[in-house]
Chains A and B, each alone.
Chain A
């Protein structure tokens, strides 16, 4: 990734490996929003997601020299966060996964459209939480994070046909919930 005027990932990695610890802040600022969103969708909790992503960044920094393709830093980071999320899910049963830390509270200034959107989001989040972690991961990587199947294969270590099948099953489950509540 190369935001205009910002150094490319490979350059940032080289700076950090050369001893410029502060340059790692660029990596954090560049990817934390996407990684947090992904982890939140995986874990169903913003606090748990923040822990998982923070742990992942520290882990990434400590093992940065093992990143074989610095130009593909993004997929490498997603892989680390994916593994951290799996560890978090193993430590607690899926039944305990909260949908979110606190349900959204209606603001008097909210319009009817805002409230409808919040209801719809809650419905989709619940349907997502009901999916198995594998299917949830595949759907979020594909449709929320916008990764290609090739990138997803690098992130998850799974074969592309397996990932496609998981995405298809996730879509089918979500569509059924959406249509049941239409």
Chain B
């Protein structure tokens, strides 16, 4: 901030007579006064009067109260919220808590013969992990696991029709590996071992 001598303000506020302003400050006072005079001068060109426009508007009968309410309801309005940072943090915490509880309560909608399968694999170096199996015809890319906290543990929760499925993980789109955490394994037709997941119906 470029603070200027208080006597310049006093002179411009009429609290200090012009002749009482030191010579070295008069130039600044004159500059600011000239700038104000420039802004106060009428703009070039003919000035169009607002009188006819305003008088035409006020001669019209005022709209009914119901019409004004309806117009207000359909017109976009700006809303400005002035919130202290401390309150906004508290508000965000409340919203986050409510969201977590709500999300926990709701869960996925399950049909009568559906259950939840949870796939968990530890792949610290992986860039992507997918699960493929008999439930998606071994099509890579359709069910992705996520490592949200970047601890190398990848997870996916999937709703599947109740049944027994063979599956594998596809790491980085090319490496097929069984689920090492799953003890139930079965040999497939290609000499590899697939993991087994049993999905039980959630409603009995």
Contacts and interface: CB of A to CB of B under 8 A. Distances in A.
B197 interface: no
A67 interface: no
A21 interface: yes
A182 B109 CA distance: 72
Interface residues of A, number: 50
Given A58-B58, A90-B78, A169-B1, A120 B38 contact: yes
B38 A28 contact: no
B12 A171 contact: yes
Chain B contact residues: over half helix, strand or loop, or mixed?
helix
A159 interface: no
Interface stretch (B40-48, B124-132, B157-165, B166-174): B40-48
B50 A173 contact: no
A149 B12 CA distance: 12
Contact of B44 (A29, A104, A149, A178): A104
A93 B90 CA distance: 28
Interface string A142-172: 0111100100000000000000100111011
Given A28-B50, A90-B80, A41 B39 contact: yes
B38 A58 contact: no
A87 B28 CA distance: 34
Contact of A171 (B9, B42, B48): B9
Nearest to A107: B44
A21 B58 CA distance: 8
A22 B54 CA distance: 11
26 contacts: A21-B58, A22-B55, A28-B55, A29-B51, A37-B42, A40-B43, A41-B39, A53-B50, A91-B78, A120-B38, A140-B39, A143-B39, A143-B40, A144-B36, A144-B40, A145-B40, A168-B9, A171-B12, A172-B3, A174-B32, A175-B2, A175-B4, A175-B8, A175-B28, A175-B31, A176-B2
A-B CB proximity, top 4 nearest:
A143-B36, A57-B54, A176-B2, A124-B35
Given A28-B50, A171-B4, A172-B3, 17 more contacts: A21-B55, A21-B58, A29-B49, A32-B50, A36-B47, A40-B43, A46-B43, A50-B50, A58-B54, A90-B78, A104-B44, A117-B38, A121-B41, A125-B39, A149-B13, A167-B13, A174-B32
Interface of A: 21-22, 24-25, 28-29, 32-33, 36-37, 40-41, 46, 50, 53-54, 57-58, 61-62, 87, 90-91, 104, 117, 120-121, 124-125, 127-128, 139-140, 143-146, 149, 164, 167-169, 171-176, 178-179
